Amino acid sequence: MKALVGAEAGGYRLASDLPVPTPRPGEILCRVHAVALNPLDAKVIDYSQVPGALGGCDFAGTVVAAGAGVTRFRAGDRVLAVTFPMDAADKAAGAFAEYALATEGLACHIPDALPFTDATAMGLAIATAGLALFQLPGLALPFNAAPGTATGEVVLVSGGATATGTMATQLLRIAGYTPIVTCSPSNDALCASFGAAATFDYHSASCGADIRVHTDNGLRHVLDCVTDAASMKTSYEAIGAGGGAYVALEAPTAAVKYTRRDVRADWLMAPSLLGVPVHKKGAYGRPSTPAHKQFGTQLFAQAEAWLRDGAIRHHPVEIREGGLAGITDGVDDMRLGKVHAKKLVLPLLG
């Protein structure tokens, strides 16, 4: 099969002679119809490149084979899935290929009416937003979806126009919370369409103070999907006098982290949802977290129902041509900051 893998000299290279992988127990093998690009696809190739290992996190396609013990899927099923690439311990893990593996627990059926090019934009966003909101080291919010249990508590999503941000906004609504977001004013309507109760201009010097006034000095929880010094500073300014919790998608900036001792600040690595050690250098490594695997399985089973009921939808997509060979241009555009409030998607099959 053809696949995009880490090149020996750095970056990606297109390989044309890789063997089609065989699903192991608990895995499904899929014919990939479309892939979506994420900032992670640039980060791993820049900082965690593994020669010969597959790239890519998000794909959608049809199941062609199921490994031992798989009960939810069978050949012919239409699915979306998330996988975690550039893994030195498992070079066959990755989405940028004609055939891709996924664990049963991090995949879900998609409705017949949902195009693969839309479905592929959702997997990593569901995984990351769910982990950040409802598990430690994330915010560990109770999931209050049962009738009569919704609290309506306000939760801030910094970077509400990102793919993780729009998914987090939807999950917060489903779970009974009131999401507010930071974004560019040009994306106010977009964020509102996903359920944001209020939007705040992150360019404004008074953004944090404005949020603090809006929440009557009572904000306790922040998910930062931007994770730079400016977004963290704004988040800390927004959290009320009673303190709270802040979770980011990268390591928090130490210069800001310790400015408030009443704020618990942490960050997460989505691959911990596999329930096995994350083999990355330094602070990016993680021990095995079986609780995260259990949560991921429950989350994607629930996501299947949300998709069927129309409770969640995908981030806006921009479809690019070129198939696997066109991925590197898209990754470069993300790296250069040319992609805003949309997800780049490349079809691999018509």
- Quick: pLDDT tens for 285-337: 788 899 999 999 999 999 999 999 999 999 999 999 999 999 999 999 999 99
Tell me: pLDDT of 148 over 70. no
- Strand 317-319 and strand 221-224: the pairing is unpaired
- Burial class for 233, CB neighbours closer than 10 Å (0-12, 13-18, 19+): middle
CA angle centred on 169, ends 164 and 170, rounded to 5°:
100
The pLDDT score that the predictor gives to residue 141 is: 95
* Residues 242 and 306 placed together within one structural domain of the fold: no
325: domain CATH number is 3.90.180.10
* Same-domain check for residues 170 and 218: yes
Average confidence score pLDDT of the chain = 95
140 and 122 together in one domain: no
Does residue 274 lie within any of the structural domains? no
275 assigned to some structural domain: no
Phi-psi region of 76 (alpha: psi -120 to 50; beta: other; left: phi over 0): left
- Alpha helices, H only, 144-282: 163-174, 188-193, 207-214, 229-238, 254-257
Instruction: Kindly state whether residue 272 falls inside one of the protein's structural domains.
Output: no
Q: Is the pLDDT assigned to residue 147 strictly greater than 60? A: no
Tell whether 224 and 149 lie within a shared domain: yes
Q: Of 22-31, 131-140, 142-151, 157-166, where does mean pLDDT reach its minimum? A: 142-151
Residue 144 has pLDDT above 80, yes or no: no
Coil, strand or helix: which one is 324?
helix
User: What does the DSSP 8-state code read for residue 203?
Assistant: T
Judgement on whether residues 174 and 252 belong to the same structural domain of the protein: yes
DSSP state of 212: H
Q: pLDDT band at 149, cuts 50/70/90?
A: low
Axis crossing angle, helix 123-134 with helix 163-174, rounded to the nearest 10: 60
Decide: helix, strand or coil at residue 35.
strand
Flag whether 87 is in a domain. yes
Which residues on neighbouring strands pair with residue 36, listed in sequence order? Answer: 58, 345
Q: Is residue 281 part of a domain?
A: no
Where residue 262 sits, what CATH number does that domain have? 3.40.50.720
Number of domains in the chain: 2
Average pLDDT over residues 20-41: 97
Residues 249, 144 share a domain: yes
Query: Does the residue 278 lie in any domain?
Result: no
Q: Does the pTM exceed 0.75?
A: yes
| % the chain with pLDDT above 90 | 89
Cα separation, 80 vs 23, in Å, equals 16
For the chain, what's the residue count?
A: 350
Bond from prior residue into 137 cis (ω within 30 degrees of 0): yes
Pair (322, 208) in one structural domain: no
Q: What are phi and psi of 324, to 5 degrees?
A: -60, -35
284 within some domain = no
SS3 of the chain: helix, strand, coil, percent, to 5? 30, 25, 45
| Structural domain span for residue 314 | 3-126+289-347
Same domain, 19 and 117: yes
Same domain, 250 and 302: no
Per-residue CA distances from 245 to 232, 252, 256, 258 (Å): 12, 12, 14, 13
* Residue 77 sits in the same domain as residue 19: yes
- At residue 323's C-alpha, the angle toward residues 320 and 325, to 5°, is 105
CA atoms within 13 A on the CB side of 95: 33
Q: Which two tokens stand for residue 110?
A: 């998609």
Q: What is the pLDDT of residue 283?
A: 73
Same domain, 140 and 263: yes
| Rounded Cα distance, 48 and 86, in Å | 7
Amino acid letter, residue 334: M
Residues 94, 181, single domain; the answer is no
Residue 283 lies in a domain: no
